[in-house]
């Protein structure tokens, strides 16, 4: 137990207890499905396209924290850093599906893609699938062929969630999400590892003066393990990597997200936001919208990611639309 300082009763029951707490704390917004297979909106709206996401737990508030009016209809929590099973996804989809069909929003990891694909084949409802892959750090990684889906996923979920809420049809929701994903890029950095409860020891080890630049949200390796440097220099390398993959059109409006990985406090996240914003403005971006906080986490990992999303007027309007979930409300 020496390497794991957590509020926990047992690794086997951790997820179930946390989900019970989540559902009880937000009972006005969500309901926990049978056998805790999914979290769904309390108030179903069977005439709209239903958005279903999910993935391994340990990234809270993603995805269950984004279930509610204007965003997801259901989310399937796998065990920590483990994909949800196809039957979880099928039951979630069938619990929220109406005639307008179901859109699966899936982060690009091999297990998630496979299980959502199996669910799409098994589900007795119309489905479409949208894969997010916003992480510029590496071209492929421990759990993914191609780029990983990370914090940019919440931008897709918010914007497509608003569109679905307004009655946009399944194919158009999928097309909108594809465009948002294409204009959204992220990169992360870890200052410490995290410890998966069932493993009991840290996923990786960093020296006292080291950081992992380009880390994945499960602690997968990034680009380089290097000496910890000043925040401005970290932000410079991250924003440069992001912008090398984005092509702003004239006067692009940008959404800037500085996302904590779970162990980094707000005072540091706002400092990183300040550094990133200045660097992006120097590159000619107009930061039109901002989000700072812990949204797509890696258990108690210290670190953060930066996400830049170039939004056209339609996307901005959907971003601004009302949302009422546990983790995002406006």
290 near a second copy, judged by CB under 8 A? yes
Which residue among the candidates 37, 40, 48, 218 is catalytic per the annotation? 218
Judge contact between 145 and 170, C-beta under 8 A. no
**Shortest distance (Å) from residue 58 CB to a second copy:** 6
Supply 9's token pair.
């009763």
Q: Using CA atoms, how far apart are residues 242 and 175, in angstroms rounded to an integer?
A: 23
Which window, 119-127, 128-136, 273-281, 311-319, contacts a second copy (CB under 8 A)?
273-281
Which window, 100-108, 120-128, 160-168, 272-280, contacts a second copy (CB under 8 A)?
272-280
**Shortest distance (Å) from residue 67 CB to a second copy:** 14
| 46, 145, 200, 265: which one binds a second copy (CB under 8 A) | 265
Which lies closer to a second copy via its Cβ, residue 21 or residue 145?
21
- The Cβ of residue 63 has, within 10 Å, a number of other Cβ atoms equal to 30
**Shortest distance (Å) from residue 310 CB to a second copy:** 18
267 near a second copy, judged by CB under 8 A? yes
65 near a second copy, judged by CB under 8 A? yes
Q: 4 exposed, middle or buried (CB, 10 Å; 0-12, 13-18, 19+)? A: middle
Which residue among the candidates 59, 63, 147, 277 is catalytic per the annotation? 59
**Shortest distance (Å) from residue 19 CB to a second copy:** 8
Q: Using CA atoms, how far apart are residues 301 and 305, in angstroms rounded to an integer?
A: 12
Tell me the β-bridge partners of 78.
56
Q: What are phi and psi of 305, to 5 degrees?
A: -130, 155
**Shortest distance (Å) from residue 148 CB to a second copy:** 20
282 near a second copy, judged by CB under 8 A? no
**Shortest distance (Å) from residue 287 CB to a second copy:** 8
Query: Sheet containing 39-41: which strands, arranged edge to edge?
Result: 30-32, 39-41, 74-80, 50-57, 102-107, 127-132
59 carries an active-site annotation: yes
Which lies closer to a second copy via its Cβ, residue 15 or residue 164?
15
Which lies closer to a second copy via its Cβ, residue 282 or residue 330?
330
Number of residues interacting with a second copy: please give it, by CB under 8 A.
Answer: 63
63 carries an active-site annotation: no
**Shortest distance (Å) from residue 178 CB to a second copy:** 28
299 near a second copy, judged by CB under 8 A? yes
317 near a second copy, judged by CB under 8 A? no
Per-residue HEC secondary structure of 183-206 comes to CEEEEEEECCCCECCCCCCECCCC
Distances (CA, A) of 177 to 27, 37, 115, 232, 309: 29, 25, 20, 32, 12
Which lies closer to a second copy via its Cβ, residue 126 or residue 289?
289
Q: Using CA atoms in the order 215, 216, 221, 227, what is the torsion angle rounded to 10 degrees?
A: 10
Helices (H) and strands (E) in the chain, counts: 8, 14
- The Cβ of residue 204 has, within 10 Å, a number of other Cβ atoms equal to 15
Contacts of 192 (CB under 8 A, 6+ apart): 206, 263, 300, 301, 302, 303
Residues 176-205 binding a second copy (CB under 8 A) are: 191-192
Q: Kindly list the residues in this chain that would bind a second copy in the complex (CB under 8 A).
A: 1-3, 5-10, 14-15, 17-22, 24-26, 57-58, 60-61, 65, 80, 191-192, 208-209, 211, 228, 230-232, 234, 262-275, 277, 287, 290-292, 294, 297, 299-300, 302, 304, 329-330
Positions annotated as catalytic residues are 59, 218
């Amino acid at each position: 137990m020496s390497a794991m300082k957590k509020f926990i009763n047992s690794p086997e029951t951790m997820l179930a207890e946390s989900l019970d707490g989540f559902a009880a704390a937000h009972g006005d917004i969500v309901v926990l499905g049978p056998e805790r297979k999914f979290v769904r909106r309390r108030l179903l709206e069977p005439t709209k396209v239903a958005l279903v996401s999910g993935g391994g737990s340990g990234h809270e508030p993603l995805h269950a924290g984004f279930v509610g009016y204007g965003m997801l209809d259901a989310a399937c929590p796998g065990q920590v850093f483990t994909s949800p099973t196809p039957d979880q996804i099928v039951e979630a989809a069938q619990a929220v599906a109406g005639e307008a069909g179901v859109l699966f929003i899936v982060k690009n990891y091999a297990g998630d893609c496979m299980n959502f694909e199996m669910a799409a084949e098994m589900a007795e409802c119309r489905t479409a699938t949208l894969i997010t892959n916003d992480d510029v750090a590496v071209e492929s990684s421990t759990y993914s062929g191609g780029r990983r889906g990370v914090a940019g996923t919440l931008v897709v979920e918010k914007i497509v969630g608003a569109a679905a809420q307004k009655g946009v049809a399944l194919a158009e929701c999928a097309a909108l999400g594809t465009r948002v994903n294409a204009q959204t890029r992220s990169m992360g950095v870890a200052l410490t590892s995290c410890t998966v409860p069932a493993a009991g020891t840290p996923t990786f080890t960093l020296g006292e003066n080291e950081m992992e630049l380009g880390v994945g949200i499960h602690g997968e390796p990034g680009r380089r393990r290097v000496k910890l440097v000043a925040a401005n220099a970290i932000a410079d390398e991250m924003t440069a990597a992001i912008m090398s993959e984005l092509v702003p059109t004239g006067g692009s409006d940008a959404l800037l997200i500085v996302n904590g990985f779970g162990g980094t406090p707000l005072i540091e996240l706002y400092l990183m936001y300040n550094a990133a914003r200045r660097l992006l403005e120097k590159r000619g971006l107009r930061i039109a919208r901002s989000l700072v906080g812990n949204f797509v986490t890696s258990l108690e990992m210290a670190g953060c990611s930066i996400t830049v999303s170039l939004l056209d007027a339609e996307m901005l309007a959907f971003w601004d639309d009302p949302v009422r979930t546990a983790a995002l409300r406006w």
